[in-house]
Structure 1
């Protein structure tokens, strides 16, 4: 499988946003409005549709769910612990950490879906849909918590007002109730999802400033190491410990090694944190995925 080719669309859209913002009349004034559109409408529709499109069978996928939650919770714990680690913590700015901790544990759902389809066809898509449906709410809550806590704006208030949390929670409820989206709405929702991905990545590129990464190198290296080295190793250990079959193990390893969520930039920027720094991390994570995905999928099972 050509991972560079798989990740090229994401990276090229980020590059397009960067070029348009800096060398055309489509400057920051335009992209601020794009970010709002993506954050308050396009991404929520995308998340809701991704979760409700496939029924969640908890019984058949209990071990995979346990492993996926283990990977996710490990990433959250490691990311949260960074400011308190001896030797590393004193080099980490607490505000920068609050806005960018999400890089370590969130995942790009679209790359997960594309990989699962190539690795295992319809069965792989169903398995990754279960992981997305269960893990996205957890990841979004974990992403919001340090930002709300650092800004002292009230965690519960941020949760109930956060459109990504509302969309994922309502999607889970609809899925578990056995409801679905009417067939005539599917094309519209699919096109909204495609627009959210493209515009979200371009907005990340428009806000990107690599110079900001130089001012937080220890934090950047730590977060990206968790995302692209430690979590794949944890996923490998859990796959062996829970004796996942070959298909489930492949899906889990892809889930553990994919680049971080492209919406991380939009969330950080909308909540008043250093968007350019997070955008740089999203771009670096997309590039590192070219290395981490073959590494993870090549681990013996």
Structure 2
């Protein structure tokens, strides 16, 4: 089911390494996807969805709980034996941040427009929380205006705008929604290609134990917690599937940019992102498959 999406990631890697479409091209693609294509997809999906925000309140709370759990466990790793403070500050974000591009593609693959609308709610709530946690972890390396960054985040803005249109029942012209929808259709393939183009193997040898702990939180603890929360809250099947997929996601590719901007160890974070993305190709289908064996 998820193989086409992961093949796009592999395709992006191959295009960046072995064709004339080298790294500068993909820097432009990433900006286009992040600032235009994905915001258009989020806005259109929320406005067109029959889902009301209050219908997913329990799932939304569980998503926030997962993010806080990842943040708390990543912080605890700082006190482990022999952990380098700068490497920890750089890499801690990998344990609780998530790749929005893969999240949207996965939600669309699992449940179509309904899945995208559900994951958009989690993105709107958890992106600010995770970004704040990442900046807090790196704060000792340099100054950063967290609130300004979140207020200008295009994914958050588009999601909140879509929710406002739905809640206030604001009528929008058909031609406008059709145009926004068509722009959003390009988001998923372009975003996944950009994820693949950004993969690189460097830096993990600096702290393999710390890397293992962070990746275990991201790919083992959080999806397991999502499974348990979904069962405990008796979420509807669609929301349980999205919550587990959300918990199993690989980490955010933008973690590297933040680490470098704030004086962290870029190569270490780049290696973590690459390994997390490759692990996700195996663990995401695994956790989604486990969900199907559980009683409703």
TM-score, normalization by structure 2:
0.78
**Partner SS, residue 2 of structure 2:** helix
8 A contact 2:218–2:250 mirrored in 1: yes
Match of 2:224 in 1: 233
Is the alpha carbon distance of 1:148 and 1:63 closer, same or farther for their aligned partners in structure 2, counting shifts above 3 Å? closer
| CA RMSD in angstroms, aligned pairs only | 3.3
8 A contact 1:18–1:207 mirrored in 2: yes
- In the alignment, structure 1 segments of 5+ residues that lack a partner are 1-5, 118-124
* Cα deviation 1:81-103 (Å, max 9, x = unaligned): 25434348547714422653444
Match of 1:174 in 2: 165
1:35 deviates by 1.8
8 A contact 1:209–1:276 mirrored in 2: yes
* Cα deviation 1:59-98 (Å, max 9, x = unaligned): 544444444443344334434x254343485477144226
8 A contact 2:70–2:222 mirrored in 1: yes
8 A contact 2:66–2:222 mirrored in 1: yes
Trace 1:1-301 onto structure 2 (pairs within 5 A). Answer: 6-58=1-53, 60-79=55-74, 81-87=75-81, 89-90=83-84, 93-97=87-91, 100-103=94-97, 108-116=103-111, 126=114, 128=115, 131-149=118-136, 150=138, 151-179=142-170, 182-215=173-206, 217-244=208-235, 248-257=239-248, 259-260=249-250, 264-266=252-254, 268-269=256-257, 272=260, 274=266, 276-277=270-271, 278-301=273-296
Is the alpha carbon distance of 1:180 and 1:232 closer, same or farther for their aligned partners in structure 2, counting shifts above 3 Å? farther
Is the alpha carbon distance of 1:171 and 1:24 closer, same or farther for their aligned partners in structure 2, counting shifts above 3 Å? same
8 A contact 1:38–1:200 mirrored in 2: yes
For the residues of structure 1 that align with 2:72 and 2:38, how far apart are their CA atoms?
A: 26
- In the alignment, structure 2 segments of 5+ residues that lack a partner are none
TM-score, normalization by structure 1:
0.77
For the residues of structure 2 that align with 1:291 and 1:146, how far apart are their CA atoms?
A: 28
For the residues of structure 2 that align with 1:99 and 1:71, how far apart are their CA atoms?
A: 14
**Partner SS, residue 209 of structure 1:** coil
* Cα deviation 1:206-255 (Å, max 9, x = unaligned): 22112344445445433432333222322233233333455554554444
